[in-house]
Amino acid sequence: LSQLVGRFGHARVVVLTVISAEFLAMQRALSANDEVGTSGAFTSTGSIAKLGGKPVFPFVVMQLDDRSNTPAASSLRRAVEYFRPEFVLLVGVAGGIIRLTADGLHDGPALGDLYIATYVHYAEYSKSDSEGRHQRYYPIQQPSINLVNHALAISRNPVKSWLEGIQVSPPAEAHVPSIHSGEVVVVEAVAGDPEAESQRFFIDHFDHAGAVEMESNGVGRGLADLADNVHYAPQWLTIRGISDHVFATSELSDVDNHEERATWKPYASAVASAFAKALVYRLLSTTREEVDGDPGAVPWPPNPAEIPVVSAARETVDTEGAS
Amino acid sequence: MNSVNFDYKLVAADNFDDLLTRHGMVAETESALSLVMSKGRSLIQARGGEGKSTLANRLVAQAIADQGQGLFLRSLDWANVLSTSTGGSNAASELAILIGQHSIASTKDALIVIDGVNEVSRDLSERVIEAADLVAARNPRWSFVLTDRLHRRDLALSDWALFTLTQVSPGLVRQLVPGSSAGVTTAILQNPFYLDRATQGNLGSATRASQHEEYLRIHSSVEGDDLASLGAFAFAQYSERATRSIDARQASGQLSPSLLERITDSGIYVADENPHFEHHLIADYLAAQHVAHKQMALTYEVLDALTFKATSFDALALLLDLDSRAADDLVRSVYDWNMYGAGYLLSEDRASASKISVEMEAVVIGMLGDRQYDLFPATSTQVRDALRVIDTDLAAEVLAASDRWAIASMIETAIPDTRSDWFEHWFDTFKSSSQVEHQDLVAQLTSSDSIVGWAASNAARRSANLGAESESFRRILIESPYVQHRWRAAHVLGATGHVESVSALLTALDNDESVWVKYGSIRGLIEIAAKHDTLSALVLGSLARRAGSVGDNSILAREVARALPLTVVAPDWPEVTEPLVSALWARARSVSEQDTWARLGASVRKYAEK
């Protein structure tokens, strides 16, 4: 029982967002307007049950302390300590890696597409010597196969109802996001210079990675650090909207992607949030079986008609400056 | 535990600025416990003997009454285990095992006190704090209270509750010890440790050291040769073990059976699984007593031993009470070794006997104040903390000073016209412009008077001709037989922008026998890299190639972590420092050490964005 009780209670799903624009998009998507105590976490409903004398929430939404992996690790640690969730979703934007195929075509996710990380590579902190750069490794908890499968199930559903949750118009006409899944490369600073030696290294070295971002390693590292007993093993997943392109070589593009990111970020955030919402409700529709010491969890909301409907009308939202 | 319920209380502070100046809300036990349980972690910081352990014990008692679970651990009790494990993550596992051995269930709320974080080495104390932080995250039903000296820690304040303590009220002191007069004795007895001694044994001595002396005499018949023998043993333990735990076999071998029996029977020596003296202030007194009794030269080695390499300065304050040498000379020796130690000495002195002259007070405050404009934010913050703790009118004024000229003006006003020659000499150097004659500076830097030497080192950094004349300082760094002179020279060379200076500092980093010269050299190198784009790749690449030796030396590793995060720096500072951080990360011996260097990388980027 105690394994699912945090300092503020229990939430089945914790949604972590990176920057304010992403948090606001997620908050809006889930109508998460009520703060749980002084936790900095928001939910759409009051306590729906009690566990160990503390409140139970179906989900909460939190924002990381800052961009990059170190704040992500500390925020994740706090989220788990506060709510002991079953599931953690990291929602935000990423750069899509564009590579040149053998037949000379560009290959990679399009702007505004969705990317599900199945495996996290950490590209920072290698050892360099006269023979070159040697990758070093860092133990983390990898994304959950179970959650990847849940996410892919949503993508395979012919009724693309999650698309209706996208509340921002795409910068390009009539864009319909595709869903990609695969390896992600995690770095510590925004990747945008195809001339940069470090960028060339990680794109070459992790040759199957389709996206690059700055927080998933922190979340995976934080979860690995917290794993200390057999009774508590939260699952996690990264969901990213593609806000810009990171090119494998300057032959593909030598344009700084800063402006592109500024243009696409609001839409990419909205895409990720809409998909995350669908996944949150899918996870909450499952039952957690009762076992000795845990009363379990029943599907929520009891009546699916209670799932908040977000206006399909798209609008332009204010966002923070480009990162 | 105090035998009487003294009237000091916990004070909840919002941040370290407030904590160091004892600002905050007085918290009764219930409300303090509630705050601790909501945050999961808390620090109680105060001076030695001010009652941290007593109030932490009170919190545990309340937690047991409320929740049925509580535990009081001493840092010393698992220092030996920690010193053989690597990293905070391992330490967290060790801590969880230790808590489990005391039958504390993870299914119920519990308060766990870890007492005396300041009683183990700096490295171990940081690992204790990291371990408590992680165990609290893993076990949200457990909350931690750690007791510590007054010292800013690098913590996420959203996750930690901070407390300090009020002092015992003068009225209660006068009531409990009627013989105490207003002034010196009352000030000492506002510290619960000394008040407790006074109420138990009718001791009303004028100094802390004489209280210890009387206490040992009355309770264990320790005086004369016994005191000398026990002092020598305590100092030897400090020197050899760098911790306040005691080797029981050495105690049996080096102390007479009669003496050992008396101090054991009286409880002054606690011969449990981790033998130690009853209170760390007694151990500090004994070690300081030996140094004073033998009139030992206050070398870096002696001062390192007394303070566990500048981790805990309580022994210095007792030395000030005990040593027949002039108080100002003691400050000189301490300043030459560690300016924060001198600041602590001054703060303790001003809270008790005021043996240090007003001129030396001005020197210490002036020199610390000058460093609040340091390139390195960590240094600036630390000297400002030291000035807050000194808590005199001049220290408060200097804290608000806009520059060195303003500080000089404040000192000019504060110190009477009838000044000592040594003070005039120092003040001239302190005030000196960039036009001072080079040879004068070289002569002053090698002065046997440390305050003049360091003032000259600072003045040389401002010298208009430093570039052309830095060869003299390079020679001192490499060739001087005096460790103090080499360190001062390293400090000067950080202000130069020459490849020859880089070479000399690297040579000192590689070869000097003193860790403090190495420390000064690595600071100088990072300063050069930060100020001179043309040298940054050379310097940081050279340091990256030394990642093994730097990372293996805790003092150097810590200084790199303190020095690299800079605000006034080129925008590409995170990129140019990346090879060094990366090399340190790559040679890390544990995952938590990797985390440490990854956090440094994040910190460098964050500071550079400011």
pLDDT digits (tens, 9 = 90+) for A136-166: 888 999 999 999 999 999 998 888 889 999 9
Average pLDDT (B514-524) is: 97
Q: Higher pLDDT residue, B569 or B534?
A: B534
**Predicted local distance difference test score (pLDDT) of residue A264:** 93
**Predicted local distance difference test score (pLDDT) of residue B420:** 93
In angstroms, what CA-CA distances link A76 with A142, A179, A236, B129, B610? 14, 25, 11, 19, 24
Report yes or no: B568 at the A interface, CB cutoff 8 Å. Answer: no
* Residues of chain A positioned with their CB less than 8 A from the CB of B572: none
ipTM of the complex: 0.90
**Predicted local distance difference test score (pLDDT) of residue A128:** 77
Amino acid at A178: S
Task: Kindly state the percentage of chain B with pLDDT values over 90.
Answer: 72
Task: Copy the structure tokens of residue A254.
Answer: 């030598």
| Lowest mean per-residue pLDDT among A251-255, A293-297, B281-285 | A251-255
**Predicted local distance difference test score (pLDDT) of residue A311:** 46
**Predicted local distance difference test score (pLDDT) of residue A254:** 61
| Lowest mean per-residue pLDDT among A3-7, A201-205, A245-249, B244-248 | A245-249
pLDDT at residue B235 tops 50: yes
pLDDT at residue B69 tops 80: yes
Answer yes or no: do B141 and A2 touch at CB < 8 A. Answer: yes
The answer to whether the beta carbons of residues A141 and A220 sit under 8 Å apart is: yes
Question: Could you read off the pLDDT of B537-564 as tens digits, one per residue?
Answer: 999 999 999 999 999 999 999 999 999 9
Top mean-pLDDT range of A94-103, A150-159, B283-292? B283-292
Average pLDDT (B4-22) is: 92
Answer yes or no: do A226 and B137 touch at CB < 8 A. Answer: yes
Q: Give the model's confidence band at A313: pLDDT under 50 very low, under 70 low, under 90 confident, else very high.
A: very low
**Predicted local distance difference test score (pLDDT) of residue B198:** 80
Answer yes or no: do B585 and A221 touch at CB < 8 A. Answer: no
- The stretches of B401-465 forming alpha helices (DSSP H) are 404-414, 421-431, 438-445, 450-462
* Rg (chain B; Cα; Å): 24
pLDDT at residue B13 tops 90: yes
Q: Residue B392 carries which DSSP code?
A: -
pLDDT at residue B224 tops 60: yes
Question: Could you read off the pLDDT of B124-166 as tens digits, one per residue?
Answer: 888 899 999 999 999 999 999 999 999 999 999 999 999 999 9
Residue of B nearest to A197 (CA): B575
Query: What are the beta bridge partners of residue B46?
Result: none
**Predicted local distance difference test score (pLDDT) of residue B325:** 87
Average pLDDT (A6-34) is: 95
Question: B330: burial class by Cβ within 10 Å (0-12, 13-18, 19+)?
Answer: buried
Report yes or no: B573 at the A interface, CB cutoff 8 Å. Answer: no
Task: Kindly state the percentage of chain A with pLDDT values over 90.
Answer: 63
Determine the distance from the C-alpha atom of residue B379 to the mean position of all C-alpha atoms in its chain, rounded to a whole number: 13
Indicate the average pLDDT of chain A.
88
Indicate the average pLDDT of chain B.
91
DSSP assignment of B99-116, as one string? HHHTT--TTS-EEEEEE-
* Residues of chain A positioned with their CB less than 8 A from the CB of B140: 5-7, 81-82, 84
**Predicted local distance difference test score (pLDDT) of residue A244:** 93
* Residues of chain A positioned with their CB less than 8 A from the CB of B587: 127
Answer yes or no: do A124 and B582 touch at CB < 8 A. Answer: yes
pLDDT at residue A312 tops 60: no
pLDDT at residue B204 tops 70: no
How far B10 CA lies from chain A's nearest CA (Å)? Answer: 23
Task: Copy the structure tokens of residue B585.
Answer: 């990360």
Place of tokens 């700084």: A256
Residue of A nearest to B597 (CA): A125
DSSP assignment of B2-19, as one string? -SS--S--EEEESSHHHH
Quote the strand ranges of A41-110, DSSP E: 42-43, 49-51, 54-63, 87-100, 106-107
* Residues of chain A positioned with their CB less than 8 A from the CB of B591: 138-139
Answer yes or no: do A125 and B93 touch at CB < 8 A. Answer: no
Q: Residue A296: left (phi > 0), alpha (psi -120 to 50), or beta?
A: left
Half-sphere exposure of A220 (CA within 13 A, CB side): 22
Comparing CB atoms, the residue among B140, B585, B606 nearest residue A6 is B140
**Predicted local distance difference test score (pLDDT) of residue A104:** 78
Query: What are the beta bridge partners of residue B13?
Result: B162
Q: Give the model's confidence band at B94: pLDDT under 50 very low, under 70 low, under 90 confident, else very high.
A: confident
| Lowest mean per-residue pLDDT among A284-298, B27-41, B179-193 | B179-193
What is the phi/psi pair of residue A276, to 5°?
-60, -40
Report yes or no: B111 at the A interface, CB cutoff 8 Å. Answer: no
Q: Higher pLDDT residue, B451 or A256?
A: B451
Query: Nearest-CA neighbor of B151 among B335, B331, B355, B347?
Result: B347
**Predicted local distance difference test score (pLDDT) of residue B86:** 58
